[in-house]
Amino acid sequence: MFGENIKLSFVALIAGLIFGLGLIVSEMVNPAKILAFLDVAGDWDPSLAFVMGGALVTTGIGYKLIFSRNRPVLSSDFLLPVKKEIDGKLVMGAILFGIGWGITGLCPGPALTAFTIGSTEIYVFLFAMISGIFGFKAIKRFIVQS
Amino acid sequence: MDIFSLVPALAGGILIGIAVITLMLFNGRIAGISGIVGGLFPFKSNDTRWRIAFLVGLVLAPFLYRIFIGQIPEITFDASLPLLVLGGVLVGVGTQLGSGCTSGHGVCGISRLSLRSIVATLIFMATAAVTVFLIRHVLGV
């Protein structure tokens, strides 16, 4: 059991490293690049579309091959979201995230990767983002329990 | 902007895809960053270590980049500190309420052809583009 957990963590560490490298290679860690993509009325930079395209084609093919297996290599099941319906929470959450992303040019992956690159701006954003994540989860838990 | 400047974008995207399929092939997990962070609370002893390990990898990636590739690209912020706080809180709350971000919905979800993820991605992309339009071209900040 302990051994399996170590293997899972090792794979996760490698996956995190590769993910972070991808974000740096593609310059997605730079909020200015994200904003230049989102600014369709300005000097438009299509980079993000190519990042998404590269990631989607790779993942689309990879997932298809992987899901032909019965189970993952190191664990018993593929843990996939089961929810199917489009509800208010999904829509509202995507809107709030979109506003925050548009204001800053930062989403969770690039922001965390930029942590060790370091700057006051990234520390401030990460503190607010992590407070938002755990604050929301704590309030939700409180409401569900009471 | 010439076509060759898009090669790093494509290469980076492929690396992200390789990371995503690695986590699914071995661990059976979705590589959604907001989900990996959010899943740290409430604490579950057998479900925490891989999350921390993934996040450590993410955070250490710049060191690996410096060793094997070179100078980290320049990072510039448009938003002021108060706006970074507001934006950070919105990203944090929004991704938890909406069950995902650019990686979870935008890459993993769309790759599985999940309707929820396709809808969420279209909404946050459109909302972000409208937000940038308002800030840059209407308010003129």
Spatial contact of B83 and A103, defined as CB atoms under 8 Å apart: yes
Q: Which long-range contacts (CB under 8 A, 24 or more apart) does A3-9 make?
A: A4/A74, A4/A75, A5/B46, A5/B49, A5/B50, A7/A74, A7/B26, A8/A74, A8/A75, A8/B26, A8/B27, A8/B49, A8/B50, A8/B53, A9/B49, A9/B50, A9/B52, A9/B53
Q: Which whole number is the average pLDDT over A113-135?
A: 97
Q: Which whole number is the average pLDDT over A7-21?
A: 98
- Among B41-45, B48-52, B65-69, B102-106, whose mean pLDDT is lowest? B41-45
**C-alpha radius of gyration, chain A, whole number:** 18
Amino acid at B42: P
Mutation target to probe the B interface, by most B beta carbons within 10 A, among A7, A17, A61, A142 is: A17
Checking if the pLDDT of A77 tops 90, the result is yes
A36 and B CB contact within 8 Å: no
The residue written with tokens 């400047």 in the block is B5
Mutation target to probe the B interface, by most B beta carbons within 10 A, among A6, A47, A59 is: A59
Tokens of B24: 């699914």
Q: Which whole number is the average pLDDT over B115-140?
A: 97
Checking if the pLDDT of A2 tops 60, the result is no
**Contact assignment for A72 to B1 by CB distance below 8 Å:** no
Cis peptide bond prior to B42, omega within 30° of 0 = yes
Give the chain B residue nearest A133 (alpha carbons): B92
A84 and B CB contact within 8 Å: yes
A39-65 tens-digit pLDDT: 999 999 999 999 999 999 999 999 999
**Contact assignment for B89 to A128 by CB distance below 8 Å:** yes
Res. B141 pLDDT band, cuts 50 70 90: confident
Residue with the larger pLDDT of the pair B46 and B138: B138
Checking if the pLDDT of A3 tops 80, the result is no
Domain with B55, as residue range(s), is 3-138
Q: What is the pLDDT of residue A1?
A: 47
Residue with the larger pLDDT of the pair B62 and B43: B62
* Residues contacting residue B70 through CB under 8 Å, at least 6 positions apart: none
Nearest residue, CB atoms, B87 vs list A30, A48, A125? A125
Q: What is the pLDDT of residue B47?
A: 92
Q: Which whole number is the average pLDDT over B72-101?
A: 97
Checking if the pLDDT of B84 tops 90, the result is yes
CA distances from B74 to A22, A25, A86, A124 (A): 15, 12, 38, 18
Domain count, chain B: 1
A104 and B CB contact within 8 Å: yes
**Chain A hits for B123, Cβ within 8 Å:** 91, 94-95, 98
**Chain B hits for A88, Cβ within 8 Å:** none
**Contact assignment for B79 to A105 by CB distance below 8 Å:** yes
Give the chain B residue nearest A45 (alpha carbons): B1
Nearest residue, CB atoms, A24 vs list B5, B62, B105? B62
Q: Which whole number is the average pLDDT over B36-43?
A: 94
Spatial contact of A102 and B132, defined as CB atoms under 8 Å apart: yes
Residue ranges in A26-119 assigned as alpha helix (H): 31-38, 47-66, 88-104, 108-113
B65-80 tens-digit pLDDT: 999 999 999 999 999 9
Res. A91 pLDDT band, cuts 50 70 90: very high
B47 and A CB contact within 8 Å: no
Torsion of the alpha carbons at B75, A23, B36 and B50, rounded to the nearest 10: -120
Q: Which whole number is the average pLDDT over A19-48?
A: 97
